[in-house]
Chain A
Amino acid sequence: MHELSICQALIEQVTRIAAEHGATGVERIGLRIGPLAGVEAPLLRHAFPLAATGTLAETAELVIETAAIRVVCTDCGAESQALVNRLLCAACGSYKTRLISGDELLLANLELTLPDP
């Protein structure tokens, strides 16, 4: 259940950014998570209210965008889609590939409520 510790880190990050902008609330939190990040989106959603209670982000909507797994082959240069436990080149079958998407664990964007000027 490291999703709870990740949520706690997320809330700290979000409330710090909200404070920097003088926001009175956080409306929406956008995350981008790859299947190879080792974090389960449903568990994260479940843990979120526990971590958010009593913070500026308490009523925020958590939007999780899943990133596709893509690799580029260092043998033939082809770029292809891959599976979480099969990261081989779809063109030539080589295992000498480099992951170019699919392991991200990012706070992508926020929507904040700002006080009326």
Chain B
Amino acid sequence: MCETCGCNITPGNEHLVRAGGQHATTADGRAAVSVLQSLLSENDRAAMHNREHFDRHDVLAINVMSSPGAGKTSLLEQTIEALQGQVRIAVIEGDLETENDAERIRAKGVPAVQITTGSACHLDAHMVHDALHRLDLDEIDVLFIENVGNLVCPASFDLGQHRNVTLLSVPEGDDKPAKYPVMFRVADLVLCTKSDLLSVLPEFSVTRAETYLRNLASTVPFECVSARGDGAIQAWLNWVCDELAAQRSRLELGRTTRPSGSTDTTARFRADEDGVHHHHHHHHHDSDHKV
């Protein structure tokens, strides 16, 4: 079914992917087993189920990531107000402690589920799965998953989302994409937030921030937004509405999608080990990505 997480390796076909058949024996008599599974295959499997769940209910799921205080919750508050009556929104909030963010979202009149991770620095697919039991997906068009504020760990865990958005706020400095390449490489959209502060923080260069992003071989849109003032998040709202339309067309065709930075490393290595130099399984899960 899926080449990414190793879930397609079953007792029935594992002899095909294991070097030298079932057991190759090393010189000192140990059994050598070739495995080639993602270290996160359990998480990836749960993420795949979440994605199926979203698709079955016609929901677009967007993972929102940034460092703490970059303005994720403020952006979502403004988004909910702006899209009121057009798009039905719900939010899953991830934080180490407190219900504060979920309460801010609920105050805008939309459902919010708070996940408190304790000391965990990221959300994983199982936590999101549990949170989904507390949401009625039939009443939702777009689900925002506001990840734990952290530019490191959340990048490594697939939650089942269709798209990743990474925020870079002006006070943080324009070289964040160079410092945190793993995070910015997996973004489908990078938002430069708090752009109203550009006038008082001239050391932040929007051009430089975008150059650092492009250095990561990222071709995704880079937009400046400000959650203060009217109309300053229009580029973001357009992106959300376009993505929702794209998700609906995909579902009509029975297809799904994953964030653009995620590649199929297990298939890549399986091909290498076979000594076959064939066109990697780089189907990117979806060819209609980013028009």
Minimum distance in angstroms from A113 CB to a CB of chain B:
6
| A45 in contact (CB, < 8 A) | no
Nearest residue, chain A, Cβ from B217: A87
CB neighbors of B among A68-96 (8 A): 71, 84-88, 95-96
Given contacts A105-B39, A111-B33, A37 and B156 within 8 Å (CB-CB): yes
Q: By the criterion CB–CB under 8 Å, are A85 and B177 in contact?
A: yes
Q: By the criterion CB–CB under 8 Å, are A99 and B263 in contact?
A: yes
Q: Can you report 15 A-B residue pairs in the complex whose CB atoms are below 8 A from each other?
A: A2-B121, A2-B156, A5-B120, A6-B156, A12-B42, A13-B35, A39-B156, A85-B178, A87-B216, A99-B217, A103-B265, A105-B156, A107-B35, A111-B30, A113-B30
Q: By the criterion CB–CB under 8 Å, are B269 and A36 in contact?
A: no
Q: By the criterion CB–CB under 8 Å, are B269 and A104 in contact?
A: yes
Task: With a 10 A CB-CB cut-off, give which of B30, B38, B43, B266 has the most chain A CB atoms.
Answer: B30
- Residues of chain B within 8 A (CB-CB) of A98 are 217, 282
Q: How large is the interface on A (under 10, 10 to 19, 20 to 34, 35 or more residues)?
A: 35 or more
Give A106 to B36 CA distance when docked, in angstroms: 6
Give A83 to B200 CA distance when docked, in angstroms: 33
Q: By the criterion CB–CB under 8 Å, are B32 and A85 in contact?
A: no
| B239 in contact (CB, < 8 A) | no
Number of residues in B with C-beta < 8 Å to the partner? 48
| A19 in contact (CB, < 8 A) | no
| B11 in contact (CB, < 8 A) | yes
Give A38 to B156 CA distance when docked, in angstroms: 6
Give A108 to B267 CA distance when docked, in angstroms: 12
- Residues of chain B within 8 A (CB-CB) of A2 are 120-122, 152-153, 156-157
- Residues of chain B within 8 A (CB-CB) of A23 are 31
Q: By the criterion CB–CB under 8 Å, are B217 and A96 in contact?
A: yes
Minimum distance in angstroms from A10 CB to a CB of chain B:
5
Q: By the criterion CB–CB under 8 Å, are B31 and A107 in contact?
A: no
Q: By the criterion CB–CB under 8 Å, are B217 and A88 in contact?
A: yes
- Residues of chain B within 8 A (CB-CB) of A38 are 152-153, 155-156, 182-183
- Residues of chain A within 8 A (CB-CB) of B33 are 17, 21, 109-112
Minimum distance in angstroms from A2 CB to a CB of chain B:
4
Which of B38, B216, B268 is the one whose CB lies under 8 Å from A85?
B216
3 closest pairs, A vs B, by CB? A87-B217, A104-B265, A38-B182
Which of A9, A28, A108, A110 is the one whose CB lies under 8 Å from B42?
A9
Q: By the criterion CB–CB under 8 Å, are B32 and A9 in contact?
A: no
